[in-house]
A and B are shown apart, each in its own frame.
Chain A
Amino acid sequence: MVMLEQAVEHRPEGESFFDLCRRTLDRRVLVSQAAEARICRLSCSPRELPEIWQWLTRYLDFSFATLVVDEIADGRWSFSYLFYRESSPWVYLEFPLEAPHAVVPSVVGLHKGPAADWHEREVEDLFGVTFEAHPRLGEFILHEDWPEGVNPMRRSFDARHPPVHRDPDPSWQPPTVVEAVGAFAMPIGPVFSDFAESAHFLLETVGEDVIRTIPRLFYKYRGVEKIAERQPVDRALLLAERFSGTSAFAHGLAFCQAVENISGVEVPPRARALRSLFAELERLRHHTAVITGICNSTALAIATSQAALIEEELLRLTCEVAGHRYLFGLVRPGGLYRDLSEQMQERLEKALDGIAARLDQLHASLRYSSSFLDRLEEVGIISTERARSYGLVGPIARASGVPSDLRKLFPYAAYESVDFEVPTAEEGDGYARLRVFFFEAQQSVFTVQAILSALPPGAISAAGFTVRPGAALGAVEAPQGAAFHWLRIGDDGTVARYRTTSPAFTNWHGFHLAAENFAFQDFPIILASFGLSNAECDR
């Protein structure tokens, strides 16, 4: 290959991205355009993967979105690595793989490699593909009693019946890393706390601070991607909404956008505006719930109550204007199921004024509670380069100085017409995350009010369209960050492959960075300051 670095540096004026690829990459790599030059396809062989990964992430500063593995026939996979960057086409790096040689080089050691870590482990667990030189394969999604060699995402696996579980090795124990005199691993979960979602943590320590923690997730794995297969689109939409109830609208929207991208459907402007409105309403409520969780973890009771009041009022408001407290059953491919009446618009506007004022007051009061700030400031820090390296997304990444937001990078629905801000902070500690959540909540209120003031009239759904076969990506900024839903619809109009990468999946990976090297008693607070959902990660 041409010296990749130099190729980028000495880029001639006005060269398109596609030409750059053609010029730089090996002739064996096929460069093609798709979707009106919004997607750049690079078809290569597995051996070239590491080098192209390095080129894209290091020199061209692309971010890794997701890895889509599709078993198109028995023993034949197609791998797609998806990358994105500001003002650039998406890059789909694709190669096929045949069963007897199902080994792919791992990219975890490369620049921004950790972002692919969990993707590779998931593929290994669910498809049985080995990633060469990945140091920690196995025991990821499928826990220790799952039979060896049975991979649920394979075509040959029947999704209706569980396999025969094996007796796990009696001496098996979760891997620990710390070697020191008197070191022990304090277990938390999977059943713990009052209302925590099920997950298991092993805090390795020698008594005071947590040296290493390895969260063990996927206790709630429900196989959404598998059971969506061979379902009609409107049934699969139910799955997309419900695997993460608190971000139901966002995931439903991403799914619908994927369907619309496949079928080339144009969503009417009123529907687009309402989609942004409801998405922001969901974001507002989600962030308020996270703030309630943070106040609860620091045992600041009145603040918790104040925030919980706002959260419940938002839930009731959502129920009034959208028919369901969590916005279930609202979005559909082509638009929305329900419209927003004049009366409800007024109700929304009035209510939001009050809520914005109370959020401001809460924020101001919290800013002056020194005992509260003590628990959050300089606790649970993720540095900017770690956040970039792990590919973290959403408010958590923005609190660590990574300003990426899909609403600004690839505006969808009606976001282009609203001039809202995306806040960032530099410290990456709990307080930075809290500030980002507050600010984003305020911006959500602003966005909703802006949309309400200029709501276009018209239909709320595209007139009846048929779902065409094809594959496309729907990318949405869910409340916790970038959500990618890849959909391939088969010839019979049912789902052939459904791949979701949720922001919780991406961000849970980076959780251990924040929890390590802090005291035991900070752990629940760090956990709360992330506000991540296990259901969203485990699917």
Chain B
Amino acid sequence: MANWVLQGLRTGIKTSSYPKRPDSSPGISPGRPSSAELGSRAEVEGLVQRCPTGAILAQNGGVAVEHGRCVHCMRCSQTNEGAAAPWDQNYEWAADAPDIPAVVSRLEREFGRSLHIRFLDAGACSACVSEARQLNNPYYNMHRLGFFMTPTPRNADVLLVSGPVSDAMRLPLRKTYDAMPEPKRVLAIGACAISGGVFGPSFAAAGGVSEALPVDVMVPGCPPPPLAILHGLLVLVGRKPAAKLVSLPSDKVIGQS
């Protein structure tokens, strides 16, 4: 008979230091292109051309990044076809949805330490689902922050949606949202959920969750790493400040001094 308890004890503590202190372990985030004031116009044009989804824009002599469109094709980070884009190796990516003011979208204090989440796969590729699943592993352990998954929307406070909302999932998505009691919030994770990613809008997928539901906080990325999703939940309960969905060259990126 295997001695699981001893094995568990021997493994020790693996939990990330986030959100108390920033976590800088290698491999926790692929990073993403960040905005910057670039000198060369050709560089800017080159980057804009290289991005297949139009996430990189030219603005005021620098690059702006519309993070909701970035599908992490990593082509702008390659150096074989031109200069690499400025890179943000961070993970605090959650941003408020454009049409809902922040003060309305935060949950009350009562939910700060006990939040129940219903995850809904509205056509996501398994990468977003997998990253969300990692929130339960000992590295991230969202339970220590008071976040819990629930299988029924009746007990849920937050609807965590990923995927561009495929045609057949429109009705289940609507029904799940309607079954949740007030107060409720929607957290859209992944490029597909924000802008449709590479799949939408099309005949089979809407262009993101905001086509079907009012979204409160969006976490861009393809897929967003678990710490970004965690950041999104913390933003939703008002424990962390939000980032911007569109980075302009004049902005400073969170985490950089």
Q: Chain A: residues with CB nearer than 8 A to chain B?
A: 143, 146, 152, 157-163, 190-198, 218-224, 226-227, 234-235, 238-239, 242-246, 248, 289, 300, 302-303, 305-306, 308-309, 311-312, 315-320, 323-326, 328-330, 337-338, 361, 364-366, 368-370, 461, 533-536, 538
Contact = CB atoms under 8 A, between A and B. Distances in A.
A319 B29 CA distance: 7
B166 A337 contact: no
Interface of B: 1-2, 4-5, 7-8, 11, 14, 25-30, 52-53, 71-75, 77-78, 80, 118-134, 136-140, 149-151, 153, 163-164, 166-169, 172, 175-176, 197-205, 222-223, 225
B202 A159 contact: yes
17 contacts: A158-B203, A159-B202, A190-B168, A191-B120, A195-B132, A220-B168, A226-B203, A246-B130, A305-B137, A309-B137, A309-B138, A316-B25, A319-B26, A324-B72, A338-B74, A338-B78, A365-B2
B134 A315 contact: yes
B229 to A, nearest CB: 12
Contacts of A326: 127, 130, 223
Contacts of A315: 27, 134
A195 B124 contact: no
A158 B203 CA distance: 8
B196 to A, nearest CB: 10
**Top 7 closest pairs, chain A to chain B, by CB:** A245-B127, A316-B27, A329-B74, A308-B137, A223-B204, A365-B2, A319-B27
B8 A219 contact: no
Contacts of A218: 168
Contacts of A222: 123, 164, 166, 199-200, 202, 204-205
A324 B75 CA distance: 12
Q: What DSSP secondary structure best describes chain B's contact surface?
A: loop
A311 B140 CA distance: 13
Most B Cβ at <10 Å: residue of A152, A220, A365, A538: A220
A535 B74 contact: no
Nearest to A238: B198
Contacts of A366: 2
Given A221-B166, A535-B125, 16 more contacts: A143-B167, A191-B120, A194-B150, A194-B151, A197-B121, A221-B204, A222-B202, A303-B4, A309-B11, A319-B29, A323-B74, A328-B73, A328-B222, A329-B75, A337-B78, A538-B166
A152 B203 contact: yes
B203 A162 contact: yes
Given A152-B203, A309-B137, A366-B2, A328 B149 contact: no
A317 B78 contact: no
Nearest to B133: A195
Most A Cβ at <10 Å: residue of B1, B30, B71: B30
Most B Cβ at <10 Å: residue of A195, A224, A309, A318: A195
Contact of A309 (B2, B30, B139, B153): B139
